[in-house]
Amino acid sequence: MKAARLLEYGKPLVLDDVPVPEIAADEVLVQVKACGMCRSDVQLIDGYFRPYADIPPPIIVGHEITGVVHQLGGAVPKGAFEEGDHVVVAPGWGDGTCRHCAVGNTQICPNVRWPGFGKWGGFAEFIPVPARYVIKVAKHLKFEQLAPLTDAGMTPYRGVKKLRNAGALGPDRVLGVFGVGGLGQYAVQYAQLLGGGAKVVAFARSEDKLAIAKQYGVEHTIAVGDKTHADIAKELNQAVGQPELDAIIDCAGAPEMMQLAFSLLSISGHYVDVGLVGDRIDVPLFPRVSREQTFQGSFWGNNADLMEIMALAAQDKIKHTVELFKFEQINEYIDRLRVGDILGRAVMTF
């Protein structure tokens, strides 16, 4: 099978022919039809994660995976799947024994495995997947739209749910979405679907990305560019009647953007970050304490999150901005993503 493999950190992926993997008794062999390209793929190649998890090559990259069931292991429960079923792959494979797995949050299991961060990944024609992390989807949905939903579409969904569950959203609140890229294009939609009537404001450097937010129904957008905090607060006040944000979903995680976002956060405001453009934050501590603000990380999502998203997709409640490319163009698109030259999500299709 064709497979794009990382053989050496900091080098382009090698497009190889490798044996089709054999599956264990509890696994499903998925024939990959589409795989989204994520900034974390670039970060993996560039060594961003090595201080936290130094994964030895070779690595088949790609974790936003959808396809069809090709083969079933002998221990997969009868009737669970049939060959030809359309499926997506839930990305966080837990050990099944820890307290996080016990409540379904396998993506934060201390012994978690990730497709695309090890021996098998989605930039290959086949991938073996434990059956419990394969989710059937409606056959009328397009593969190129399903693939991004397993990360770009799931990560901000969980983040907005955290804001909702914390009581940070409602008809008298203002929710800021920072970054309207691969994740942010979905975050602005979830902000409206789950926001309970909160006013939604999208913030980004690029007018083209803000145009996507407007296309998806966001009334208020602010281009941050080289503006000062005071200028942006004034513009925010003119747009929604207050200079601060009650809640923030940050889809960028860029240091300068985070400093701006924290400066706009209200008393008892809630800030959820899902972005990882940077690796450090430097913000004043006293306002966080004296204003009793909450900062929370949110990581990917679990099976329940992904099933909810698939239900929304089946009801045509999620829109997509997708650019398709072929297997042979993987390294070209990695370079484009590295410099921010992609609107929405890039998706490889076989």
Superfamily of domain 2-152+301-349: Medium-chain alcohol dehydrogenases, catalytic domain (3.90.180.10)
**Amino acid 221: pLDDT:** 97
Would you say how long the chain is, in residues? 350
Scored b (16 or more CB within 10 A) or e, 272-309 reads: bbbbbbeeeeeeeeeebeeeebbbeebbbbbbebbeeb
* Eight-state DSSP code of residue 133: G
Helices marked H in 5-142? 39-46, 99-102
Q: Strands 245-250 and 322-325, how do they pair?
A: unpaired
Average pLDDT, 10 consecutive residues per value, the chain (350 residues): 98 97 98 97 96 94 98 96 98 96 97 96 98 97 98 97 97 96 95 96 94 95 94 97 98 94 98 92 94 96 97 96 97 95 93
The CA distance from 63 to 337, in Å, is 16
**Amino acid 3: pLDDT:** 98
Domain regions of the chain by residue span: 2-152+301-349, 155-297
Residues 139, 82: contact at Cβ < 8 Å?
no
End-to-end CA separation in angstroms for the chain:
11
Q: Which CATH number fits domain 155-297: 3.40.190.10, 3.40.50.1820, 3.40.50.2000, 3.40.50.720?
A: 3.40.50.720
Residue 268: strand, helix, or coil:
strand
Cis peptide before 58, with omega less than 30 degrees from 0? yes
